[in-house]
């Protein structure tokens, strides 16, 4: 099962699967070299990126992320500006310090973008080879970046949750989760919190929730202050700050219902503009979809008068919903298309908002289902391989749909024809059947129909 600490991770942009995952893989490989005692013998490292990582990795900063990981940096601790500074230093000197202790010759050309074939194991695979001074391979390893910043070794399973005690309330489906919560007269958030406390202790669980709330709102605030053009060469202008200013000016005091949706859109876009600029964001569930949940959480706090207890219930519920998607389908755009990123984020936000507003467990499940159902089939086709078009606006759409889904669910009885489990399975099957052109390869959709110059 995925914990709150796996679902909401404070990190760095622009992509969880193409930036954070490869970063973690590279650091794990370097730590392996130290663990098996061959770090000091390494003279050279070669890295091969396959599939979607090769096709859109340049736009997502995968090469920089690999260098950061090999050098031993952590994405949740590094200052965003340091990434570019360190990358430039490696480019200029042709030297890289493995884990900060073993200096080797390394150039960006040592990272190969293998666009001619897909790795048989996964659409986001990367292979590392460490060689000695005689050119002999000392150690090699292949990792798969399976979404949300999670990496697994080829042939392995996710290490998330390894070593954790069995939770007091295990479940495998939304139906089981709702039955568990109803059975003990509680809420889905109570089940999620009890499991988190068993895994991490109450202080750590509540501390993480508070840190996530702070980081989400800080990211919105930064994004609402910054203008200019986003990096990457597409010439995409930041719009969140101007949108926010215009909507605020149009309805000072209490914004109209219509203008509130403009503000929610500005919150979501602020986060994803920060993400596109390589700033500090909270994966929710991925970097590309990091704006939807914070925007709806901010809507709950600033426009519905929500307090801390409600925000905690919101995030615990959203985390439990995300866990279902990760275990029963996927949150990777490279596997599911954008339905697995924005669709899941919207479902998380809808469930969280419904829970915060006092919905029953069935209404919460219904809200998540409605939000997902109307993202089914959504393709991933980022223009220029950058997490900008359509990603930034798409987070705003995910947030607005989440609010609408919550409204529909809370004005119903909780009875509904399509279960969340059926919608998750439908997403899984749709993702499986979707052409690879629409799964984060930038080989179809908007990516080939928008002139990139």
In the complex, what is the shortest distance from the CB of residue 365 to ligand SF4, in angstroms, rounded to a whole number? 24
In the complex, what is the shortest distance from the CB of residue 51 to ligand SF4, in angstroms, rounded to a whole number? 14
Stretch touching ligand SF4 by CB under 6 A, among 73-81, 90-98, 194-202, 390-398: 390-398
Stretch touching ligand SF4 by CB under 6 A, among 104-112, 162-170, 368-376, 387-395: 387-395
* Residue closer to ligand SF4 (CB basis): 45 or 321: 321
Does residue number 382 form part of the binding site for ligand SF4 (CB under 6 A)?
yes
Q: Are 240 and 270 in contact (CB under 8 A)?
A: yes
Residues forming beta bridges with residue 246, ordered by sequence position = none
CA–CA distances in Å: residue 274 to residues 17, 224, 445: 17, 9, 25
Residues 284-313 that bind ligand SF4 (CB under 6 A): 288-289
* Residue closer to ligand SF4 (CB basis): 142 or 379: 379
Residues 418-447 that bind ligand SF4 (CB under 6 A): 440
Stretch touching ligand SF4 by CB under 6 A, among 68-76, 229-237, 389-397, 401-409: 389-397
Stretch touching ligand SF4 by CB under 6 A, among 148-156, 296-304, 308-316, 384-392: 384-392
* Residue closer to ligand SF4 (CB basis): 223 or 382: 382
* Residue closer to ligand SF4 (CB basis): 149 or 310: 149
Does residue number 283 form part of the binding site for ligand SF4 (CB under 6 A)?
no
Does residue number 273 form part of the binding site for ligand SF4 (CB under 6 A)?
no
In the complex, what is the shortest distance from the CB of residue 21 to ligand SF4, in angstroms, rounded to a whole number? 13
**What does DSSP say about strands 111-114 and 44-50: parallel, antiparallel, or unpaired?**
parallel
In the complex, what is the shortest distance from the CB of residue 375 to ligand SF4, in angstroms, rounded to a whole number? 10
Cα(128)–Cα(230) distance, integer angstroms: 31
Stretch touching ligand SF4 by CB under 6 A, among 72-80, 198-206, 321-329, 336-344: 336-344
Does residue number 383 form part of the binding site for ligand SF4 (CB under 6 A)?
no
In the complex, what is the shortest distance from the CB of residue 18 to ligand SF4, in angstroms, rounded to a whole number? 8
In the complex, what is the shortest distance from the CB of residue 288 to ligand SF4, in angstroms, rounded to a whole number? 3
Does residue number 338 form part of the binding site for ligand SF4 (CB under 6 A)?
yes
Does residue number 333 form part of the binding site for ligand SF4 (CB under 6 A)?
yes
In the complex, what is the shortest distance from the CB of residue 409 to ligand SF4, in angstroms, rounded to a whole number? 24
Residues 342-371 that bind ligand SF4 (CB under 6 A): 342
Total number of residues binding ligand SF4 (CB under 6 A)? 13
Does residue number 341 form part of the binding site for ligand SF4 (CB under 6 A)?
yes
* Residue closer to ligand SF4 (CB basis): 287 or 366: 287
- Return the sign of the alpha-carbon dihedral for residues 298, 302, 308, 312: negative
Query: Would you tell me which residues interact with ligand SF4 (CB under 6 A)?
Result: 288-289, 333, 338, 341-342, 380, 382, 387, 390-391, 394, 440
């Amino acid at each position: 099962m995925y914990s709150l600490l796996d679902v909401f991770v404070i990190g760095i942009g622009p992509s969880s699967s193409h930036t954070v995952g490869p970063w973690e893989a590279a650091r794990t490989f370097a730590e392996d070299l130290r663990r098996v005692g061959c770090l000091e013998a390494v003279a050279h490292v070669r890295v091969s990126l396959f599939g979607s990582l090769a096709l859109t990795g340049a736009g997502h900063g995968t090469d920089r992320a690999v260098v950061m990981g090999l050098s031993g940096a952590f994405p949740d601790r590094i200052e965003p500006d340091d990434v570019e500074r360190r990358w430039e230093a490696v480019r200029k000197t042709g030297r890289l310090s493995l884990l900060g202790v073993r200096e080797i010759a390394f150039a960006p050309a040592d990272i190969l973008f293998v666009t001619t074939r897909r790795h048989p194991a996964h659409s986001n695979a990367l292979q590392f080879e460490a060689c000695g001074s005689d050119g002999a391979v000392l150690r090699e390893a292949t990792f798969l970046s399976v979404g949300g910043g999670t990496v697994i070794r080829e042939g392995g399973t996710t290490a998330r949750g390894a070593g954790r005690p069995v939770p007091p309330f295990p479940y495998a489906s939304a139906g089981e989760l709702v039955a568990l919560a109803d059975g003990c007269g509680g809420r889905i958030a109570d089940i999620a919190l009890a499991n988190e406390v068993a895994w991490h202790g109450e202080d750590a669980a509540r501390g993480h929730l508070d840190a996530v709330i702070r980081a989400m709102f800080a990211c919105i605030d930064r994004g609402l202050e910054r203008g200019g053009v986003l990096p990457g060469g597409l010439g995409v202008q930041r719009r969140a700050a101007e949108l926010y200013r215009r909507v605020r000016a149009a309805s000072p005091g209490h914004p109209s219902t219509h203008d509130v949706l403009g503000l929610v859109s500005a919150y979501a876009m602020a986060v994803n503009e920060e993400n596109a600029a390589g700033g500090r964001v909270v994966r929710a569930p991925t970097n590309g979809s990091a704006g939807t949940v914070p925007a709806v959480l901010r809507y709950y706090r600033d426009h519905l008068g929500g307090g801390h207890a409600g925000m905690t219930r919101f995030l615990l519920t959203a985390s439990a919903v995300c866990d279902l998607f990760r275990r029963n389908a996927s949150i990777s755009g490279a596997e599911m298309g954008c339905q697995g990123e924005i669709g899941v984020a919207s479902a998380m936000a809808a469930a969280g908002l419904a829970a915060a507003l006092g919905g029953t467990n069935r209404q919460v499940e219904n809200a998540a289902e409605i939000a997902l159902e109307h993202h089914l089939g959504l393709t991933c086709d980022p223009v220029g391989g950058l997490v900008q078009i359509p990603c930034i606006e798409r987070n705003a759409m995910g947030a607005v749909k989440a609010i609408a889904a919550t409204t529909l669910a809370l004005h119903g009885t909780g009875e509904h024809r399509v279960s969340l489990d059926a919608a998750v399975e439908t997403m899984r099957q749709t993702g499986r059947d979707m052409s690879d052109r629409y799964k984060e390869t930038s080989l179809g959709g908007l990516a080939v129909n928008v002139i990139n110059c």
